[in-house]
Chain A
Amino acid sequence: MLTYSFNRLLQLVVTTLGVVTLVFFTLRLIPGDAASAMAGETLSGEALDRLRDQMGLNKPILIQYFEYLRNLVSLNFGDTITTGLSIGDLLLTAIPITLAIAVATIVLTIIISIPLGTLAAYLAHKGHKTLDNLITGTAMLVDLMPSFWTALVFLLLFSLTLGLFPASGTVSLDEPVAFLHRIALPVLVLSVTQIATMARITRTAVLEVLSEDYIRTARSMGWSELRVLFRHALKNAALPIVTVVGLSFGSLLNGTIIVEFIFTIPGLGSLLVNGINSRDYQLVQTLIVFYALFFVSVNFFTDLVYKRLDPRVQF
């Protein structure tokens, strides 16, 4: 387990370095640079050149790259180009908000979708087609709804018509109850699609496992259906489910960008949208690296869980 974790960790570092490198050079390939973006059309050629010197943009590209790496490692992300605020401070306020939304969504998704999917699988296994079709059909329908659309519908219904949740307002972690109330609707929007996807994946995985020989063996030893389902079937079906949970984290991050924008929540997503709109290279570059880091870390933990669940997994 230890060697395995170490190997995975090593891979994580290599992958992250790859992403950082890719992001750095891709952004340098785009016509125009940070200085001209910052200056807009106000500066003359000479002044622009001075600005470039100041920002270190005139140094050889490899030197710039290594300086950038050094800064990243020492957690010095620099300032935003447009507003001059410290990117480190911005991240510090935005990351907890987005993380809270993402984690709440995943927890809610797992709590609802896995029992639901397992139930559907069990019904299908026992030949109760109608109920299974109902669950599976609904899940399919929900899965097809794009999140920006559900976001608007939920906003209209729960916020504007029923007035259950606020649609806007301050977001602060200092008041936990108000904070949860504020992020409840975005979490719901994100969860609905996730639940539908996960329930379908769970159903398929559990249904496949239920016809395995070892399930019959468990039954032959006199275990109740409930224990067979949760101790044997779900434990074996967990492998594909965990994989999908890990992968769906990517689409979840995607989703946070949209819902944060719609619900005006100052998380990473809003920061990214603002950064792109104002062509703030420095900010966008840092955010991409952070998103990538999130994604890679989740995969790392997925692998660890996978190894924990299935003793057969090698490297």
Chain B
Amino acid sequence: MNFMQPITDTVLQVHDLHTHFLTETAVVKAVNGVSFSLKPGERVAIVGESGSGKSAMAMSLIRLLAYPGKIVSGEVIVGGRDITKLSEAELNGVRGSEVGTIFQDPMSSLDPVMRVSEQMIPPIMRNLGLPRKEARDIAVGWLDRVGIPDAAGRIDAYPFEMSGGMRQRVMIAMALSCNPRLIIADEPTTALDVTIQAQIVELLKNLTAETGAAMLFITHDLGLVARFAHKVGVMYAGKIVEFGSAADVFAHPRHPYTQSLLRTIPNAAGAERERLLQIPGFPPDMRNPPVGCSFRERCAAAQDRCAVSTPELTFRGVDHSAACFLPNGLNDAPAPPKPVKRAIRLSNEADLVPQQDILEMHNLRKHFPGKATFPWSKPKTVRAVNGVNLRMRKGETLGIVGESGCGKSTLARLLLGLDEPTTGEIFIAGIAQMVFQDPYSSFNPKMTIFNIIEEPLIVTGAGTRPERAEKVRALIKQVGLEESYLDRYPNQLSGGQRQRVGVARALALNPSVVVADEPTSALDVSVRAQIINLLCDLKDDLGISFIFISHDLLTVRYISDRIAVMYLGEVVEYGPAEDVFLKPAHPYTRALIDAIPTPDPAIEAQRSINIISGELPSPLNIPTGCAFASRCFKVTDRCREEKPVLVAHSQKRDAACHFPL
């Protein structure tokens, strides 16, 4: 402990911060009066959906806003000085040395043409006033501390020679290298895989505990907040609408927005699959923020006064405040919205006649030829899908989970016939259609919604023009949109609406199987619930079989009847969703489940988390034994030599492990 430093009890004080983006056509009021403070060693999460102003707020704190962003008013006190009033030169004395910043995308946040050493050492020399050699030692020390193997050698690597997870570790080492007392992390794990995310979160937790630095953590993931934060601030329309200790806010949310948000995500605790809450309407347009409470148009408890005056943050207990006129938010509404008791109907065994297999994959493989090192050497093969056997019955939903690079998207492409399998066979009764991940780039922007949905009908020559129009109108209603949307263009729709159109297009040809490849990962939490509900309804109403590919295990568990866990192109575990989730048989499944944070601080605190170490091996060099051997905590010599095959583990479950859990 350094006793020479004056003892102050706040590292950061933000007071009534307003940040606007002065574009040519309008003023976007991104941040509208945010106040909070951070104590040393405290981890505060700011959570909100896209457009809530959380990133603009975080970047304002250290004045890293891009043009035309501008801090209009307010104070940001760091180390006794108001950041908003510092000169450019004074500001440079604060950045890096007093405030470290970790950014979202590790792939683009490091200078691609400079070695890690060139990026890390000069700031240490400058901020700590050290000669190059000592600065280098410190840099190597930090790289070692953040878990970079062979740090002394790797410091001279270029960023492109490292994986995304490693680059984010470098970013963290860089941000912490000058001993800042405050760390701002803007969605530091959003671009990473779940398993790597878990490692990084654990690392950040330990580092803040060791250094005593305070951390402001910007995220949209409520699960991460529960796992990571002491306190949480919920942002909506440029304001903090609720602030308090994480445990308290999750257990007793007071603001209607927080209350709604927590019910849009699948329940972590229970097997009863209650229908997810949909928040009606859209966030306000920040060019013209409404007078009064900005959430009132989407709030079931809204009253007349909400339209007239704006509720301010008021205390609701120790360390807990909310900006709502009602002390208990939605619970005080005259008619609190009841959870719709349309439970998700699980396809039970009796409905599923074995003869009605709708999809079968036999020993499916897809190998891509790699690039040879020399023209005469044999090119290496990427084994993207390496022997998959699965079957699906009519009306069943199969969830496929795994880290990126495990072959789940290649499998989807094979099912749709977009790629030819190298070996193996696929039998589909009927046809398969696809819902894509990104509703922004999977449509032709020059086509109307009508044309987009009609296109598959034209291609297959289905029906006459009036028949097709009739079908398109039926489809758009089926996915819960008005007919008037048919004349619009994709850019006039929100992300959720676009994904509905994507679903409608997939349904146009009456498919028997719909493959949805990460259909919700590009969407905000509240919109995500709408799409999940829609898929559940379609499954019930039309009896369509879904293949739901995702890395979001909670959602997969919620929507699927069965889960197949993939690792390096192979299925390592397969069985009923609840069974797999509650009693994983394969160590990898267990590791995946552990990696996913649950949106409940109470559960998170009690979990014994086994963070999986290492990263996915290159599919170029698949180990001879068990593919998972390099990262498994139960590994033995047998695993390294003898490859386990997928065999029946219990009555309903298959697992590929010599020593199942």
Chain A interface residues (CB < 8 Å from chain B): 125-127, 211-214, 216-225, 232, 235-236, 309-312
Contacts and interface: CB of A to CB of B under 8 A. Distances in A.
B66 A211 contact: yes
A224 B158 contact: no
A229 to B, nearest CB: 13
Given A217-B171, A232-B111, A222 B67 contact: no
A309 B68 CA distance: 32
A221 B96 contact: yes
A225 B113 contact: no
Interface string B101-125: 1010100111111100001000100
Interface in B159-213: 160, 171, 174-175, 178
A221 B327 CA distance: 43
A235 B291 CA distance: 48
B44 to A, nearest CB: 19
Given A224-B92, A225-B88, A236-B113, A219 B64 contact: yes
B357 to A, nearest CB: 47
A220 B97 contact: no
Contact of A216 (B64, B97, B112, B127): B64
B535 to A, nearest CB: 34
Among A126, A219, A236, the one with the most B-chain Cβ atoms within 10 Å of its Cβ is A219
B95 interface: yes
A235 B113 contact: yes
Contacts of B100: 220
Given A236-B113, A311-B160, A220 B95 contact: yes
B103 A222 contact: no
Nearest to A211: B66
A214 B111 contact: yes
Nearest to A124: B67
B93 interface: yes
B89 interface: yes
Contacts of B67: 125-127
Interface residues of B, number: 34
A218 B310 CA distance: 39
B103 A311 contact: no
Nearest to A216: B64
B94 interface: yes
B103 A217 contact: yes
B109 A217 contact: yes
Nearest to A215: B111
6 contacts: A126-B67, A211-B66, A216-B64, A217-B111, A225-B88, A236-B113
Interface string B510-531: 0000000000000000000000
Contacts of A311: 113, 158, 160
A218 B110 CA distance: 9
Nearest to B92: A222
A221 B123 contact: yes
A154 B609 CA distance: 77
B634 interface: no
Contacts of A312: 112-113, 158, 160
A213 B171 CA distance: 12
Given A127-B67, A127-B68, A311-B160, A220 B111 contact: no
A220 B89 contact: no
A307 B370 CA distance: 24
Among A125, A217, A232, A309, the one with the most B-chain Cβ atoms within 10 Å of its Cβ is A217
Interface of B: 62, 64, 66-68, 88-89, 92-97, 100-101, 103, 105, 108-114, 119, 123, 126-127, 158, 160, 171, 174-175, 178
A127 B21 CA distance: 12
B405 to A, nearest CB: 21
B112 A214 contact: yes
A216 B175 CA distance: 12
Nearest to B118: A231
A211 B65 CA distance: 11
Nearest to B67: A127
A222 B122 CA distance: 11
Given A217-B103, A222-B92, A223-B92, A236 B66 contact: no
B62 A220 contact: yes
A312 B123 CA distance: 24
A277 B219 CA distance: 74
A219 to B, nearest CB: 6
Given A125-B67, A235-B114, A216 B103 contact: yes
Contacts of A218: 111, 119
Contacts of A225: 88
B369 to A, nearest CB: 18
A236 B113 CA distance: 7
A216 B108 CA distance: 10
A124 to B, nearest CB: 9
Contact of B89 (A126, A214, A224): A224
A224 B66 CA distance: 16
B110 A214 contact: yes
Given A235-B113, A312-B160, 16 more contacts: A126-B67, A127-B67, A213-B109, A218-B111, A218-B119, A220-B64, A220-B96, A220-B100, A220-B101, A221-B174, A222-B92, A224-B89, A236-B111, A236-B112, A309-B113, A310-B113
A94 to B, nearest CB: 39
A235 B126 CA distance: 21
Contacts of A223: 92, 123
A212 B114 contact: no
A309 B158 CA distance: 12
Given A220-B62, A221-B174, A311-B160, A213 B108 contact: yes
Contacts of B93: 222
Q: 9 shortest A-B CB distances, which residue pairs?
A: A222-B96, A222-B95, A220-B101, A221-B96, A213-B108, A221-B123, A214-B111, A213-B109, A222-B92
Contacts of B94: 222
A221 B95 contact: yes
A125 B94 CA distance: 23
B215 to A, nearest CB: 15
B240 to A, nearest CB: 23
B272 to A, nearest CB: 43
Contacts of B109: 213-214, 216-217
A222 B160 contact: no
